[in-house]
Amino acid sequence: MSMIKIEHLSFAYPSSFEDVFDDLNLILDTDWKIGLIGRNGKGKTTLLKILIDEYSYSGNIYKSSACAYFPYVIADETVTTLALLQSLCPLCEEWEFKRELSALQLPTTILERSFETLSGGEKTKIQLAALFLHEQRFLLIDEPTNHLDAEGRAVLAAYLRHKKGFLLVSHDRHFLDLCIDHVISLNRSNITVQSGNFSSWMNNFQKQQEYEIAKSTQLKKEIKQLKQSAQRTAVWSDRIEASKFQNGPVDRGFIGHKSAKMMKRSKAAVARQQRSIDQKAALLKNQEETQPLKLQPLKHHTQTLAVFREVILQYDQKPITSALSFTIEQGDHIILNGKNGSGKSTLLKLLNKEAISYSGEALINPQLKISYVPQDCSFLSGSLSQFIQTNHIDESLMKAILRKLDFSRLQFERDMSSYSDGQKKKVLIAKSLCESAHLYLWDEPLNYIDIYTRMQLEELLQSFDGTMVLVEHDQYFQEAVATKIIEL
């Protein structure tokens, strides 16, 4: 049995005021299929980068095998896929590449294509094939589903289910259920390891949360009583200490010996009470209390907001969809579903009144006020306050929403380029939540978003009576919020 042992690991980014890890101790069996979960900014990617020695840290890590990390940094995407695989896995033969491609349901003809011409999902599968051809390494897989459609996620889950030895960061609950047998959870105040898939972990976590919430009032009372007791004990200890000096020579006799014993016991009592306070406070710190979010949609005077009749989207004058016919009515929550490259994001851009080529008839009410969340969030940089001013948003409201999305006040002062991808996505979602609109268009809003926030958004949209069109592949999310699904 091969192990990775982490002892007293501490790490903080040079520009940060907070530790990402403080005295972390963890043991991993490299045969486990591990899902690594936790809120955005809790250090999931950071831990993977530490394990491949990309970041310096204090503490010790003992590895019985080397680690390999996904995604790779591809220096030249103009080479053929075969040439890229040969450079990543120089000891493998072509038949081994074809074996992995078959398991990932990719045609072998893809080997002759330039890597840059592949879709995001195809690039993901090729890199994962290369990763798993390094059989003597423990594999670290960082959010592989972000460019995969629902079918691609199912294929990848089946592929991973037949592999062993990986640490997987993903926020897709259904995907995790299909391919992992252990969960490591980066909680608010500690880290836990459990056997089982995501659903079994969530069931245990919710039971623990319900128990802790029920005990919360009692714990707070106990903490208050312990603090009062500790203060009384500390005062008694101080009095004993003072009496030693007042008694003078008597301290050398029985009374002095007795007071010294009492003082020692008093100090030990204070220490025990403080430990008890810390332990009980830690239980409260682990509570995941998500605050409800709100949207303020505008009502339009017409029920039908858009009508599509035999619309075929085009790229370079070539059709990229079959003929689409549907209507958008007020109150609809529409999910656009389809494979990568089927035109989902293009259709959202057309609804957003961008210049998109198409044939057929697309009647979009010109008076619609639209709020749009793009798929890409990498462009975010600079100060949050400047972003708020540029977009004419109420700063107090925006920051209040971000606080509900688990932002600390310290993050408001940081440059947005230093935010994690999940935190950047939350900025775009928070912007949309600040906007009153007739129609909300969200393109893969859950990419990089942590599990707790996904559930928070589900609760929002289940009670939302406005109109929304989304592209999203998370199966749990689709089932929770969709009133219509349009297949492309």
* Model pLDDT for residues 199-210, shown as the tens digit of each residue: 999 999 888 877
pLDDT at 257 (0 to 100) = 54
pLDDT at 49 (0 to 100) = 95
Crossing angle (nearest 10°) for helices 421-434 and 395-404: 130
For residue 24, the cross-strand partners are 9
* Banded pLDDT at 485 (limits 50, 70, 90): very high
* Banded pLDDT at 229 (limits 50, 70, 90): confident
* Model pLDDT for residues 124-181, shown as the tens digit of each residue: 999 999 999 987 889 999 999 987 888 899 999 999 999 988 999 999 999 999 999 9
Q: What percent of the chain has pLDDT over 90?
A: 62
Pairwise CA distance, residues 245 & 265, whole Å: 19
Residue 252 has pLDDT above 70, yes or no: no
Residue 287 has pLDDT above 50, yes or no: yes
* Beta carbons within 10 angstroms of residue 296's beta carbon: 10
What mean pLDDT do residues 254-271 have?
A: 56
Residue 366 has pLDDT above 80, yes or no: yes
What mean pLDDT do residues 445-461 have?
A: 92
What mean pLDDT do residues 421-433 have?
A: 95
For residue 184, the cross-strand partners are 36, 193
What mean pLDDT do residues 340-359 have?
A: 90
What mean pLDDT do residues 305-330 have?
A: 91
* Model pLDDT for residues 28-44, shown as the tens digit of each residue: 999 999 999 998 888 99
Instruction: Give the CATH fold of the 304-487 domain.
Output: Rossmann fold (3.40.50)
Residue 75 has pLDDT above 80, yes or no: yes
- The CATH class of the 3-188 domain is alpha beta
* Banded pLDDT at 211 (limits 50, 70, 90): confident
Residue 363 has pLDDT above 90, yes or no: yes
Residue 253 has pLDDT above 60, yes or no: no
In this structure, are strands 439-443 and 324-329 parallel, antiparallel, or unpaired? unpaired
Pairwise CA distance, residues 357 & 388, whole Å: 32
Pairwise CA distance, residues 287 & 94, whole Å: 51
**Is it true that 3-188 and 304-487 share their CATH fold?**
yes
pLDDT at 340 (0 to 100) = 78
Return the amino acid letter for 355.
A
Domain ranges for the chain, please list them: 3-188, 204-285, 304-487
What mean pLDDT do residues 350-372 have?
A: 93
Give the strand order in the sheet containing 182-186. Answer: 67-70, 138-142, 166-169, 33-38, 182-186, 191-195
For residue 335, the cross-strand partners are 470, 485
pLDDT at 254 (0 to 100) = 46
Pairwise CA distance, residues 87 & 369, whole Å: 50
* Banded pLDDT at 214 (limits 50, 70, 90): confident
* Model pLDDT for residues 368-407, shown as the tens digit of each residue: 999 999 998 989 999 999 999 999 999 999 999 999 999 9
